[in-house]
Amino acid sequence: MKTNQKSKSKLTIMKGILLLLTPMFFIACSNDTKKADVNAADIQVSQEMIAELTAPPLVPTPVGNRKAKKLIVNMEILEEEGEMTNGVKYVYWTFGGSVPGSFIRTRVGDEVEFTLSNHPDNKLPHNIDLHAVTGPGGGATSSFVAPGHEKTFSFKTINPGLYVYHCATAPVGMHIANGMYGLILVEPEGGLPKVDKEYYIMQGDFYTKGENGEPGLQPFDMQKAVDEDADYVVFNGSVNALTGDNAITANVGETVRLFVGNGGPNLTSSFHVIGEIFDNVYVEGGDLLNENVQTTLIPAGGSAIVEFRVDVPGTFILVDHAIFRAFNKGALGMLKVEGEENKTIYSGVKQEGIYHPEGGGIQAMPNGDEPEAVASTTEKSLEEKIESGKQIYMQTCFACHQAEGQGIPNAFPPLANSDYLNADVKRAIGAVVHGLTGEITVNGEKYNSVMTRQSLSDEEVADVLTYVYNSWGNNKTNVTKTQVMEVKSSH
């Protein structure tokens, strides 16, 4: 009897659990069926609108809750001369007159009527392959267009995500390498979550006959492209497209969304913002969401959406973390954030001093009989200062300004035969002891990087600058400790 009662009791409990789970099961099945029934290709459109197209780093207005529409996209191909960096010219092939091309913003279910026009002054035929298109060549087979002509085709946006588009006319790599790429966003129904700021950034690698920094109009070098030996790796088509006055901006407390693409044609991007952590990353521009990411990989012909909140003010540097590309080839941008400091999150410098791993010199325990040490007041000879300064230079300055003071093109100015240094010794001292930001011109070339203040004693500053001034064709100034102290006190 007890066994039968236990069995009945268990049976009753199981029936109760099944009764509880049954509605949940049907709800889940109903939701799955509902999802399966929603086919973006079947979404009907009833109105049409002209697409808002924007040049980088701007993006069009979010789609929000708007219904699917017939979206009219008119895009013109232009072959135009532009500036890669100071004094370096390049003929870009562009969609819409910019590199990357105009940003296209759609939503799932839109019917896009796309007209591609090839300007009569252009020299070559082109077409467009949009990775958001389901169809032969992503539209390339329907859009091949000669100069002075235009082609129209249409497609349905059926998959949400951030997609690359590019020219697919042979030789495909050459057309992409000359700047023919951009991004098309397909937002989900209801749109993406709201943020305060959105920007459009796209990396590309360029191959020129001349070496990096060589002035003049530089033609494309096919062999370098085949060898994947890029002279420039840049954001938005040129070395300084996102620095200085071109930097993107935000305010403390705002959320920032970056639509980041990689046109290639060859190199994968390791996208990173120095001093920030990505709260959200839509991996490869799709549905997969990753959180708390430091650096995200973006393949050639791929994309990512990154989102983060800015909590403290300052200049945050955008880079391809294949780091020589950033500091030597141009893959560097700036996000300038204004607002109140938050010392809890970031304190800034709390204490500054000189670090001697082995101590300041030979040390011994005091025995009480020896007099207290007194700093030497003997002035070094010029030769001693130069020798001391050389050692300091190789430890402190070498990485940026190089062994012979030649600097790094487009990143750090030369110290050799420098008109900037030779014109004003006090200004040079100030750069070392206070740091230097903003645009400067050295030997006719413009630079806009950051030099942090150096943790050196007054004597070390005097020695290293004396070495620099007495090397590489400079004016042989003997910088004194007194001069350094005067500059410090006047700041």
Binding residues: 126, 131, 166-167, 175, 180, 321
Cα distance between residue 478 and residue 481, in whole Å = 10
> Annotated catalytic, 401?
no
What mean pLDDT do residues 366-374 have? 43
Give buried/exposed letters for 319-333 (b at 16+ CB in 10 A, else e): bbbeeebbbbbbbbb
Q: Is the pLDDT of residue 242 over 90?
A: yes
> Annotated catalytic, 166?
yes
More confident residue, 290 or 451: 290
> Annotated catalytic, 434?
no
Token pair for 284: 């490869």
Catalytic residue among 166, 205, 397, 401: 166
> Annotated catalytic, 295?
yes
> Annotated catalytic, 131?
yes
Strand, helix or coil for residue 171: coil
pLDDT, tens digit, 9 for 90 and up, residues 102-161: 999 999 999 999 999 999 999 999 999 999 999 999 999 999 999 999 999 999 999 999
Q: Is the pLDDT of residue 29 over 80?
A: no
> Annotated catalytic, 249?
no
Where does residue 170 rank: exposed (0-12), middle (13-18), buried (19+ CB within 10 A)? exposed
Catalytic residue among 272, 296, 397, 466: 272
> Annotated catalytic, 180?
yes
Per-chain mean pLDDT for the chain = 88
Please give the domain boundaries of the chain with CATH numbers for all domains.
Answer: 48-338 (2.60.40.420), 382-489 (1.10.760.10)
User: Which residues, including other chains, have CB under 8 Å from residue 183's CB and lie 6 or more apart?
Assistant: 100, 103, 104, 162, 163, 164, 165, 200, 202, 259, 261, 303
Token pair for 222: 């096919």
> Annotated catalytic, 272?
yes
Catalytic residue among 113, 268, 279, 321: 321
Catalytic residue among 131, 307, 334, 463: 131
Q: What is the pLDDT of residue 289?
A: 97
The tokens 């050799």 sit on which residue? 416
Cα distance between residue 133 and residue 113, in whole Å = 12
> Annotated catalytic, 149?
no
pLDDT, tens digit, 9 for 90 and up, residues 258-316: 999 999 999 999 999 999 999 999 999 999 999 999 999 999 999 999 999 999 999 99
Instruction: Report percent pLDDT > 70 for the chain.
Output: 86
> Annotated catalytic, 221?
no
Binding residues for Cu cation: 126, 131, 166-167, 175, 180, 321
Catalytic residue among 227, 291, 379, 486: 291
